[in-house]
Amino acid sequence: MVIFENNIEECLKVLQSGGLILYPTDTVWGIGCDATNEAAVEKIYAIKQRPDNKAMIVLLTDERDVLKYVAAPDLQVFDYLEKATKPTTVIYEGAIGFAENLIGEDGSIAIRICKDDFCKHLLKRFRKPLVSTSANISSKPTAKIYREINQEIKDRVDYIVNYRQDDETIVLPSSVIKWSNGKVEVIRP
């Protein structure tokens, strides 16, 4: 528990100063930053060598947070998420309060309500949404466990979480859906 708490404290310092973290999530390891800080978001695009018009996922702790950061979401989406059998990211219309370079040209944002203990603690203490994009260079395979993460990524973040680095459980990226007027469009199963 000491490692867990120390990692949370270090992450908070880095995030509050506009830095980047490498951290475990409920899916794959992610590169994260304050989702309201445009300069921090830009750093992630640079590390991933990714065009800034390609969306990244944001983590929130619960449904109330979605209501805070999305204009008029269809509440039926929460029933859908409750029945989902794997972590699911939802593309919502009407993003509010995020860094402009995170919001899609159509005003959308990809959000996952995170159930992972580490992420939930971090999000609750940080009190802002976190970017969570897979820890890989764009067009390269997604690392399924910590030791598969490219050293170039590790060298360019400001802090690497120690917690769960030795976890060899193979995990996959989340499902991604677009929710519009009660209809589901599956983007990534």
pLDDT at residue 1 is higher than 80:
no
Which domains, ranges and CATH numbers included, belong to the chain? 2-188 (3.90.870.10)
**Both tokens assigned to 64:** 């109330």
What letter does residue 26 receive in the DSSP assignment? S
Q: Which pLDDT score, from 0 to 100, does residue 180 have? A: 83
How many C-beta atoms lie closer than 10 Å to residue 64's C-beta? Answer: 8
Average pLDDT value for residue range 100-117: 95
Per-residue pLDDT tens digits for 13-25: 999 999 999 999 9
- Is pLDDT of 172 > 90? no
pTM of the model: 0.95
Q: List alpha helices for the chain, DSSP H.
A: 2-16, 38-48, 63-69, 76-83, 117-126, 151-156
Model pLDDT for residues 29-72, shown as the tens digit of each residue: 999 999 999 999 999 999 999 887 788 999 999 999 999 999 98
CA distance 77 to 164: 31
